[in-house]
Amino acid sequence: MSTPEQDILVHQEQGVTTITFNRVSKKNSLTATMYAQLADALETAARDAAVRVVVFQGDVAVFSAGNDIGDFLKNPPAGRDAPVFRFLRQIATFPKPLLAAVCGPAVGVGTTMLFHCDLVYAGDNAAFSMPFVNLGLCPEAGSSLLVPQMLGYHRAAEALLLGEPFMAEAALEVGLVNRVVPPTECNMVAQMQARKLAAKSLASLIETKRLLKKSNADELLARIDEEATSFGRMLGEPAAKEAFTAFLEKRAPDFSRL
């Protein structure tokens, strides 16, 4: 079993920083400590002139199950400086190319973080889901803005209101992923593309990404803050309490009286 220090692995080579979710025994679910490590890794990579590209990857069987519910209940995000919101702001404003290699389940933030990545490669076993409503919560990471822009309103409503998984081919169809490959090849493909980017002019990469994202920049950060406010409020409301209790008791939540 990995220790907290090993749950996030950061490796730099040939201009590429690779950030690996390494908590496979817990399906790479994310704790407050892991969010802090992710935010720190991105902040360091943004400052380091030797880093030109960042790649996120998980295991061949699972990318991330989203928030660790037990840790989430012990350490609920409190304010803009909470580790999860630090990470979300870092990934939303990261100036250099961000890539992701996604295999297996990508739940909650495991999916919403991908909307901030520039290139996403998926194993054919990838399953994406944003089940916030099922937990009595609301979208986060700016997903209430970014998901309709990419998927169109009705597909976004289906994904966010029902919270049901959609598979790699569906993600490819709507443009969330660039390519679907066998799971054993996914990390390799992402690294290959990262190496191509790392060989290019860093100034050109940064300016091109800035221009691509310019129309959304201010609105996105405002939406992330608005979602965070709503998310924090809803955490203390009866629906979320019922959802988390049901999760820990391994039963379906009952929202019929809420």
Confidence (pLDDT) at 208: 97
Amino acid at 20: T
Residues 6+ apart with CB under 8 A from 88: 113, 140, 141, 142, 224, 228
pLDDT tens for 172-226 read 999 999 999 999 999 999 999 999 999 999 999 999 999 999 988 889 999 999 9
**pLDDT tens per residue, range 113-169:** 999 999 999 999 999 999 999 999 999 999 999 999 999 999 999 999 999 999 999
The proportion of the chain whose per-residue pLDDT surpasses 90, expressed as a percent, equals 85
Does the 4-183+201-207 domain belong in CATH 3.40.50.720? no
* Of 6 and 2, the one with more pLDDT: 6
Task: Choose among 59, 66, 77: nearest CA to 187.
Answer: 59
Q: Which residues pair with 20 in a beta bridge?
A: 9, 57
* pLDDT (mean) for 74-85: 82
Q: Pinpoint the alpha helices (H) of 50-104.
A: 69-74, 83-93
pLDDT at 228 over 80: yes
- CA dist 177 and 99 (Å) reads 10
Instruction: Quote the tokens at residue 258.
Output: 């809420």
pLDDT at residue number 168: 97
Judged against a pLDDT cut of 70, whether residue 31 lies above it is answered with yes
**pLDDT score for 73:** 81
Under the banding of pLDDT at 50, 70 and 90, the label for residue 258 is: confident
CA distance 144 to 112: 10
Name the residue among 88, 98, 55, 116 with its Cα closest to residue 206: 98
Place 2 in a pLDDT band, splitting at 50, 70 and 90: low
pLDDT, tens digit, for every residue of 153-162? Answer: 999 999 999 9
